[in-house]
Amino acid sequence: VTAPLEADVLVVGGGMAGAVAALAAREAGARVVLVRRSPGATALSSGAVGVAPGAAGRDAPLAALRGPVEAAQAHALRHPDHPYAVVGAALGALPEALAFAARALPLLVPALDRPRVLATPLGGAAAAALCQRSQASGDLLAARGPVAVCGFRGHLAFDAGLVAAGLARTARRGGPEAFAVEVDLPFDDPAARPHELARGLDAPGAAERLGEAVGAALRGRGAGVALMAPVLGLDGAARAAERVAAAAGLAVAETLSDVPSVPGLRLQAALEAALRAGGVEVVTGALAGPAIPGALVEVAGRVIRARAWVLASGRYVGGGLARRGTLREPALGLAVQAAEGREAGVHLALRPAASLTVRDRRAPQPLLSAGLRVDARLRPLDDGGRPVHPRLLAAGAVVGGHEQATDGTGLGVAILTGWLAGRAAAGGIA
Amino acid sequence: MDYDVIIVGGGVNGTGTARDCAMRGLRVLLLEKADFGVGASGNSSGMIHGGIRYMLSDRHVTELACRDSGYIQRIAPHLLFRIPFLMPFASRKEGATLREKAVFYATEVYVGTYDLYQPLKRGKPSTRLDAEELYALEPGLRPGLHGAVTLDEWGIDAFRLCLLNALAARGHGAELRTWTEARRLLVEGGRVRGVRWRDALTGEEGEARAPVVFNASGAWSPAFARRAGAEVPMRPGKGVHLTLDRRYSSYGVICSAVDGRQMFLMPHENESIIGTTDDDYYGDPDDLEATHDEVEYLVEGVASLVPGVRDARVTRAWCGLRTTLYAYGPTEDALSREHQLLDGAGDGVAGLLSLIGGKLASYRAQSQEATDRIEQLLGRPVTPCRTHEVPLPGGDEVPDPVALAREFPVAPPVAARLVYRHGSRSREILAMVREDPRLGLVLCRDEAILAAEVVYCCRREEVRRLQDLRRRCRLAVGGCGGLDCARVGAQLAGRTLSWTADQVHAELADLLDQGWRDRRPVLDGAQLAQEELLRGAHGLSELT
């Protein structure tokens, strides 16, 4: 029998919220164990960090978009159930939390006072606070000269013409002009899927050949940046996007991604690397049975004891929440009682799925924004409204009241609440 | 007059009649307010069954259905698949009571009588199974069953059946207009003169003139006829089905619902289907949605025999309206499944012919009868019907998928799905892949949708909206709800049909709206996680 793994903080969940919580607790001097069943849902994200939509109105100029912090504050005012509103004054720590995440994850570029406006693979635009280095030159507010959308000849999954036509709509709001070109892939695989293309470009010489083709196709066309499908390398260390740019002799950027997401996979890999570098002990496995902070828990045969816990187990994709007739928080059996909007009602967890959704797909859906209710210090509340345990905290998508996959605040909430919860859990140790 | 007959409604009766009329040389215009089969036809159980349910009340319906099932196999062999059903002998307690044993015996005799009709549709005769044989075939059935009797039926993709009839009609000169609503009848001096229509996509309006209007608009037909002062008495019944993400059993299983109604779980194409409810419906046919109660009722009914279905993943709930003949008194299930042709002359609208009731399996015979009447209304001699002999498009040959996969650069499972949907026309689609290997991209791994198939459907199969591809090649209807295929499908359709970027965005949003409507009542378990992923992937957080 091995001795229990003793730690100050146990983090449950290996996505953005859990990793930031673990790293923040480490920075505060705590010994941290992170338990996770599998890589988090962060691997399925667009690859950039949206903090808040910062909408300025349908036809308003892009330059009028609010910066991340201001946008988050405005979002909190309009959405009283949202974690940004629930944490109260602690929302003011958002810039610090974002700076912390950008330091911990070297593939990200730090936040600016204004949002970055990044293209989607369908030619739309979305606001992001942080983004990957491979996405940064695609910021429509920073492009110097027209955007050349480069498709791969022979590859149907990314339609450069459509992306350019979509961006032309943004041009009316002060975005750059856009045009489309096609370049040859440096290898022959017309029906390849995104991760296969990305792996192909990691190979020595492939990114360089692609860059030369991009450079040749755009010579003399005055392009400010070449915008490409989000497949520029799976291995962050291979720096495929930078190699393409160097060979092209021009700035190169990826669009945001849908699923499967190569940038999302890179982001997840960066989290893993940061956890290793930060000295966080990572244990892969599921919590066996409910327990409370301070008690011994067993995960994959290891016995762990920590005085404070951070639950950052995600929403439905992450597995932090599940529904089988009723809504449950499977790891600790906590009450699911927060969701956005009045439709949610008090018996949220017991209500039929159809009554927790509304007909308009694009409207907020209480079923998709369900999660734990927490107090301003991120302690989950029981059904009587009292904290379940003084040293049990929650972070990220397991906290309800926001639809993290769609409202443009998902990873922003993960970083803010992860950072706050990690520091609070480590509080009084150092 | 522009046409001999204007057909209102692109369900199986409208398209079937359009085909028959066109084959007999009539000038036909078909108007469909949405897309082929979106009403009762496509939302039926998808079976070309012989109507064993109706053997006691309408034996005539059973025989008609069996005979026509045989014809449909002849004209669309690629589109039909055999579904062997089990009717398990279940008792509520251990050991069957005398009364239950009598019911088992009666069932055997009943199914045995149905065997008389089976040869008409190449059905296999029924077999009596003892308990051991039953559990060997379907180990997932609950313990304590006493055996079963088998029953052979046929399944079909009903959306494609409607489409193939429409394409056949087009091939014989008929004009097809989908997403075009017949707004009102033009009536002069007590006679039909045509129809005023409106194109829902372009807003274009116009008049088409014909001496006969065939109203085959299903649940919408009473309202359409009433606008011209004609009555179409109908008792619409709502039928809800659930789809499971995979083939959950190898055999169809007949179950008994909590109220004793008969229902089923059956494998269908790549999925399983649970059906069905039957309830009077008084609302607007356009507002039809499955409710939580209906979903629970169906799952509970199947779980009584197949307990594991509680853990299955329900991917959608979908519904249609049976256009049953009006009768006051009988329960929904006891209503006649017969069909009826109503002549508007009695209501002062001569030349209007409305069809109500009937079964998917008998559509061809119903269409033949309607076409005979249309010829009579036109004052012409009734000419021979050949719709039971001439193959539907792609139905002339069923190529071997394995051989196709050797001949063309696709995997055998992809070729198999393609052959199922397109029959002999798969060769044309695969030739596109050979010419342009890019079109060999498989958009959806569930349904094996090739990029070439999307392009082909857009070019040749009357696609006007992206959501039409749900019904042509099952784009975004699988368990993933379009996670993989929706964006790329929209790009391909947009390129093929020369849509603007705004149109591509709008069509993609509309496609996802359709899926959301089907999934709302069933979001649970893994399907709920899938929904979260789908919503995240499809850019709802974009700047507006």
If you measure CA to CA, which chain A residue comes closest to B508? Answer: A122
Residue B37 C-alpha, separation from nearest chain A C-alpha, in angstroms? 23
Whose structure tokens read 């959405």? A79
Interface contact B442-A157, CB threshold 8 A? no
CA distance B286 to chain A (A): 14
Write the DSSP symbol of residue A203. Answer: S
pLDDT bracket for residue B50 (50, 70, 90): confident
What is the reported pLDDT for A343?
A: 67
Alpha helices in B115-220 (DSSP H): 131-137, 158-171
How far off is chain B from A200, nearest CA to CA, in Å?
Answer: 17
Largest CA distance in chain B: 71
- From chain A, the residues in CB contact with B542 under 8 A are 120, 124-126
Q: Which pLDDT does position A430 carry in this prediction?
A: 41
Which percentage of chain B shows pLDDT scores above 70? Answer: 99
Angstrom distances, CA of residue A192 to CA of A152, A185, A361: 11, 11, 32
Residues A210, A218 contacting (CB under 8 angstroms): no
In this structure, the number of other CB atoms found within 10 A of the CB of residue A177 comes to 17
**What distance in Å separates residue A284's CA from the closest CA in chain B?**
21
Would the CB atoms of B525 and A353 count as touching at under 8 Å?
no
Contact A44 B525 (CB under 8 A): no
Return the ∠ at Cα A413 (arms to B531 and B506), rounded to 5°. Answer: 40
CA distance A290 to chain B (A): 21
List of chain B residues whose C-beta atoms are within 8 Å of the C-beta of residue A50:
541
Distances (CA, A) of B542 to A118, A125, A317, B225, B408: 10, 6, 21, 45, 40
Find residues 195-254 of chain A whose CB sits inside 8 Å of chain B: none
- Express as a percent the part of chain A with pLDDT over 70: 98
Q: Does residue A61 sit at the B interface (CB-CB below 8 Å)? A: no
Helix (H) or strand (E) holding B525: helix B525-537
Question: Mean pLDDT score of chain A, rounded to an integer?
Answer: 93
Distance from the Cα of A154 to chain B's closest Cα (Å) equals: 5
pTM (2 d.p.): 0.95
Please name the member of B508, B529, B543 whose beta carbon is closest to the beta carbon of A316. Answer: B529
Q: Pinpoint the alpha helices (H) of B46-202.
A: 59-75, 98-114, 131-137, 158-171
Q: Count CA within 13 A, CB hemisphere, residue B295.
A: 25
* Residue A3 confidence (pLDDT): 84
Is B330 touching A (CB cutoff 8 A)? no
How far apart CA B277 and CA A345 sit, in angstroms, is 29
pLDDT per residue over B484-493, tens digit each? 899 999 999 9
Confidence of residue A287 (pLDDT cuts 50, 70, 90): confident
B65 or A212, which is more confident: A212
Is B523 within 8 Å of A357 when comparing Cβ atoms? yes
Q: Kindly report, residue by residue over A112-143, the tens digit of the pLDDT.
A: 999 999 999 999 999 999 999 999 999 999 98
Query: Do A390 and A367 form a contact (C-beta atoms < 8 A)?
Result: no
Residues with Cβ < 8 Å from B48, sequence gap 6 or more? B68, B69, B72, B73, B80, B121, B153, B154, B155, B156, B360, B361
Q: Which of A33-37, A80-84, A121-125, A373-377 has the lowest mean pLDDT?
A: A121-125
Using a CB-CB cut-off of 8 Å, the residues of chain B touching A139 are none
pLDDT for the residue numbered B456? 98
Q: pLDDT tens digit string along A346-387?
A: 789 999 888 899 999 988 899 999 999 999 999 999 999 999
pLDDT at residue number A56: 67
A192-215 average pLDDT score: 93
CB B511 within 8 A of CB B475: yes
Q: Say how far apart CA B278 and CA A251 lie, in whole Å.
A: 62
Residue found under tokens 């060769």: B427
A148, β-bridge pairs: A179, A226
Q: Which residues of A touch B532 (CB under 8 A)?
A: 315-317, 368, 405
Is B512–A361 a contact, with Cβ atoms under 8 angstroms apart?
yes
Residue B228: which pLDDT band, with cuts at 50, 70 and 90? very high
Return the HEC string of B251-296. CEEEEECCCCCEEEEEEECCEEEEECCCEECCCCHHHCCCCHHHHH
Residue B352 one-letter amino acid: L
Backbone angles phi, psi at A136, to 5 degrees: -65, -40
What average pLDDT does this structure show over B360-380? 96
* pLDDT of res. B9: 98
Q: Which residues contact B328 (CB under 8 A, 6 or more apart)?
A: none
Contacts of B536 in chain A (CB under 8 A): 44-45, 259, 405-406, 410
Residue in B501, B521, B529 nearest the CB of A353: B521
Give residues 368 to 387 of A whose Cβ lies within 8 Å of B.
Answer: 368
Cis check for the bond before B243: say yes or no (omega within 30 of 0): no
- Minimal-distance CA residue of chain A relative to B538: A258
Q: How far apart are CA B72 and CA B516, in angstroms?
A: 33
CA A394 to chain B, closest CA, distance in angstroms equals: 20
Distance CA A40, CA B469 (A): 33
pLDDT exceeds 50 at position B370:
yes
* CB–CB contact A407 B494 (8 Å): no
Question: Which residues, 6 or more positions from A330, have their beta carbon under 8 angstroms from its beta carbon?
Answer: A319, A320, A321, A322
A421 vs B64, residue with greater confidence: A421
Q: What are phi and psi of A373, to 5 degrees?
A: -95, 135
User: pLDDT digit string (tens) for B515-543?
Assistant: 999 999 999 999 999 999 999 988 756 76
Asked whether residue B60 carries a pLDDT value surpassing 90, the answer given is no
**Residue B68 reports pLDDT greater than 60:** yes
**Res. A1: pLDDT tops 60:** no
**Confidence band for A189, pLDDT divided at 50, 70 and 90:** confident
Contacts of B458 in chain A (CB under 8 A): none
Calculate mean pLDDT across residues A213-229.
96
Q: Which residues between 390 and 449 in chain B have a beta carbon less than 8 angstroms from any beta carbon of chain A?
A: 437-442
Q: How far apart are CA B65 and CA B451, in angstroms?
A: 37
Do A162 and A124 meet the contact criterion of CB atoms below 8 Å apart? no
CA distance B270 to B245: 8
Query: For residue A24, what pLDDT is reported?
Result: 98
Looking at per-residue pLDDT, the higher value among A181 and A154 belongs to A181
Question: How many Å lie between the alpha carbon of A175 and the closest alpha carbon of chain B?
Answer: 13
Please give the single-letter amino acid code of residue A85. A
Q: Tell me: the pLDDT tens digits for B230-278?
A: 999 999 999 999 999 999 999 999 999 999 999 999 999 999 999 999 9
pLDDT band at B544 (very low <50, low <70, confident <90, very high): low
The CA-atom distances, in angstroms, between A375 and each of A177, A333, A415 are 47, 18, 17
ipTM entry? 0.95
Phi, psi of A324 (to 5 degrees): -140, 85
Nearest C-alpha in B relative to A41: B533
Q: Does the distance separating the beta carbons of B483 and A162 come in below 8 Å?
A: no
Taking CA–CA distances from B444, the nearest residue in chain A reads A193
Quickly state the pLDDT bin for B496 (edges 50, 70, 90). Answer: very high
pLDDT at B176 over 50: yes
Helices (H), A368-409: none
Most B CBs within 10 A among A351, A406, A409, A411, hence the mutation to make, goes to A406
Answer whether B154's CB lies under 8 Å from B147's CB. Answer: no
From chain A, the residues in CB contact with B531 under 8 A are 316, 368
Question: What burial class does residue B391 get, using C-beta atoms within 10 Å of its C-beta: 0-12 exposed, 13-18 middle, 19+ buried?
Answer: middle
Cα dihedral sign for B482, B485, B486, B487? positive
pLDDT digits (tens, 9 = 90+) for B393-442: 999 999 999 999 999 999 999 999 999 999 999 999 999 999 998 899 99
Question: Do the Cβ atoms of B528 and A324 come within 8 Å?
Answer: no
DSSP state of B148: E
CB contact under 8 A, B505 and A166: yes
B322-328 mean pLDDT: 92
Contacts of B329 (CB under 8 A, 6+ apart): none
Which one, of B297, B391, B350, lies nearest residue B23 by Cα?
A: B391
Average pLDDT over residues B284-305: 95
pLDDT band at B359 (very low <50, low <70, confident <90, very high): confident
